[in-house]
Structure 1
Amino acid sequence: MTVYTTFPSAMGCTPWEFRERLTQEAKWAEAAGVRGMLVYSDNKLLDPWAAAQLLIERTQQFVPLVAVNPVYAHPFDVARTISSIGFLQERQVDLNYVTGGFHRHLTELGCGLDHDRRYDRLTEYAEVVARLLDGSRPVTYQGEYFQLKGATVTPPLEAALTPGVFVSGASDACRAAQQRLGATRLAYPHEIGSYQGTSALAGTGIRLGIIARDSSDEAWRTARRRFPADPMGEEVHEIAAETVESRWHQNLSADAFRSHEPRDAYWLYPFRAYKTFCPYLVGSYEEVGALLARYLDLGVRTLILDEIVEEDDLHHTMRALRHARGEAS
């Protein structure tokens, strides 16, 4: 199983404080054997490529998983950025293709495409990037959204640095893009009992938080201290849910609105209170590991962890992961 963490929020930090915090979290994760870090992208966040560059400069082998949205740059620019990082730093980046879930953000940038057509454009975009990075011949591409005639990215990217490719979403349009691109689909897991079939999550990576400790009681004390009841946050979530187009957000919100009470180790309250954007697994190492193992049995091979709060969180999480893989002593 490949594991990434999540880029922390810069809210409330000075530039120096944030650089130090990011560096510390990346080094903690790298030392724990985590592959890299998911770097978000929307109109209100830091530029993900600038963030990726900082991660590369402050680590040895850490791989940024960079969110790429077609509204921000031409695919040639993305391919050239990846090629330049490969040449100058001899480092790899992975790509998480996204369409943008906030309608207002898309409107601000003049994007009027509906949900499914944004995935059509995203698929073309990812195909162009892949062909440019292949570098075996000049790229001519005639699509609905992108046209190239004999384009070449230089210097060429070494094959060993070819990005891993992900696409985010829960809709049929996202699944179609995933299949056409041969990508891993990133999703937010529902309660394990809601899945039908033995390979319901094949080709899928999931994003969630983990709070695991020696005992279930200790884990839940930590969880409720970290995510106390927050009626104001619940109200904010209800308002936001009316404007977000992302199907994963709509589906997970529907689950959280029906009930955010724990179901075994699965817990939606941090998302219900809008303190984070993913479910949590809470319990003893054995309990969390057993539930994770069931997701693995359904085909999950990539795990995106929520933000790191403390270095010990990684220690506890990796113990739970070892239980999930049957490696616990």
Structure 2
Amino acid sequence: MSLTVYSTCPQSKDVPAPDYLDAVAATARWSEEAGCAGMLVYTDNGIADPWLVAQTAITATERLAPLVAVQPVYMHPYTAASMVSSLAYLHGRAVHLNMLAGGFRNDLLALGDTTEHDDRYARTVEYTQILTALLRGETVTREGRWHTVENLKLAPALPPELMPEVLISGSSPAGRAAAAEIGATPIRYPEPLGTAPDGDTPTGGGVRMGIIARDDADEAWRVAHERFPADRTGQVAHAMAMRVSDSHWHHQLTAAAKTPPAAPADLDAEPEPYWLGPFENYQSFCPYLVGSHDRVAAEVARYVERGTEVFVLDIPPAPEDLGHAGEVFARAGAAVRA
């Protein structure tokens, strides 16, 4: 079994400024020590620039690849390509790319962007094709709908072995089509397995989720509820975000939250591990798997058996969380190989 696991970097809005560089560096080191291939670095109008944060992660580690979120509205594709090649030139390190089509609705409107959902994916396809062509060393001429370039070439050139992995949201049909067109890995915010009409929700590509696992299921759920308590203010914020969001994954997860998990047939069995508490309380944007190492590993194995190859984990509050996740992936691998 070959899986790629990314962690996620803390956001500047959640950490006091004097402590933020240390928090980024520490999380990057934890992630590398836990065997993660990289660490997702968010971008939006309210947090520190992801490229500067990525450089902090690079200097704190030896091999970890920052997975930088790239919003086409923020910069020209040449600028993004130059960031990748410049970091490679300065540090000899790879940077992976998480291509965005959307974002917070109010962020886009504040920037004067009123592009509709599917057109945003078309824009991201055009943007990514220019960006990756530059990174491959091509001289690019293109008259596109959003960008026109003529005889454009990147310097310094990117070494071929540092060509980035490219990810993109794949929860919507437009997202999956975009992933296929640019050769990116589609990442979904997964619904519970077995909720599709045919009883088997397809996954493939990758998934974004959190994992809280311990040797004992009760302890795992205690940690989960302590970390993400019910919060009325957060629930109101979630409801407000839902009213303006056109993201498919946001609506899919909200619908999934309205379906109570099935009770275990064996009353002594663990509850279903899939949990949307953090999402419903506006504390995180991804579902969680919670329970004993074995139970969560069994659920992860089901995703793997359905073609999932990439897991993007939520922000780890401590190195132990990545250690527990690593135990889950080890047991899931053993289950898949068995």
Superposed pair shares fold, TM > 0.5: yes
Is 2:271 the counterpart of 1:281? no
SS of residue matched to 2:194: helix
Alignment of 1:278-317 (within 5 A): 278-317=286-325
Q: In the aligned structure 2, how far is the partner of 1:10 from the partner of 1:116?
A: 30
1:239 equivalent in structure 2: 240
1:217 equivalent in structure 2: 218
Q: Are 1:169 and 1:247, in contact at CA under 8 Å, matched by a contact in 2?
A: no
Q: In the aligned structure 1, how far is the partner of 2:200 from the partner of 2:284?
A: 29
Letter in 1 for 2:315: E
- Per the TM alignment, residue 10 of structure 1 is displaced from its structure 2 partner at its CA by 2.3
Alignment of 1:1-329 (within 5 A): 1-11=3-13, 13-135=15-137, 137-195=138-196, 196=198, 200-202=202-204, 204-259=205-260, 264-326=272-334
Q: Are 2:169 and 2:176, in contact at CA under 8 Å, matched by a contact in 1?
A: no
119-128 or 166-175, larger mean C-alpha shift: 166-175
Letter in 2 for 1:122: T
Q: Render the CA deviation track for 1:184-217: whole Å, top value 9, x for unaligned.
A: 0111111011245879222x21111111111211
Q: In the aligned structure 2, how far is the partner of 1:166 from the partner of 1:13?
A: 26
Q: Are 1:260 and 1:272, in contact at CA under 8 Å, matched by a contact in 2?
A: no
Q: Render the CA deviation track for 1:279-306: whole Å, top value 9, x for unaligned.
A: 1111111100000000011111000111
Q: Are 1:29 and 1:314, in contact at CA under 8 Å, matched by a contact in 2?
A: yes
Q: Render the CA deviation track for 1:31-62: whole Å, top value 9, x for unaligned.
A: 11111111111111111111111111111111
Letter in 2 for 1:303: F
Q: In the aligned structure 2, how far is the partner of 1:221 from the partner of 1:193?
A: 26
Q: Are 2:11 and 2:42, in contact at CA under 8 Å, matched by a contact in 1?
A: no
- Per the TM alignment, residue 260 of structure 1 is displaced from its structure 2 partner at its CA by 7.7
- Per the TM alignment, residue 316 of structure 1 is displaced from its structure 2 partner at its CA by 1.1
SS of residue matched to 2:98: strand
The number of equivalent residue pairs is 327
- Per the TM alignment, residue 326 of structure 1 is displaced from its structure 2 partner at its CA by 0.6
Letter in 1 for 2:330: R
Letter in 1 for 2:49: D
Structure 1: segments with no counterpart, 5+ residues = none
Distance 1:83 1:121, change over 3 A: same
Q: Render the CA deviation track for 1:237-295: whole Å, top value 9, x for unaligned.
A: 11111112211112112222444899611111111111111111111111000000000
Structure 2: segments with no counterpart, 5+ residues = 264-270
Residue identity over aligned pairs, in percent, reads 41
Q: In the aligned structure 2, how far is the partner of 1:107 from the partner of 1:314?
A: 36
Letter in 2 for 1:100: G
Q: How big is the alpha-carbon RMSD for the aligned residues of Structure 1 and Structure 2?
A: 2.0
Q: In the aligned structure 2, how far is the partner of 1:172 from the partner of 1:73?
A: 26
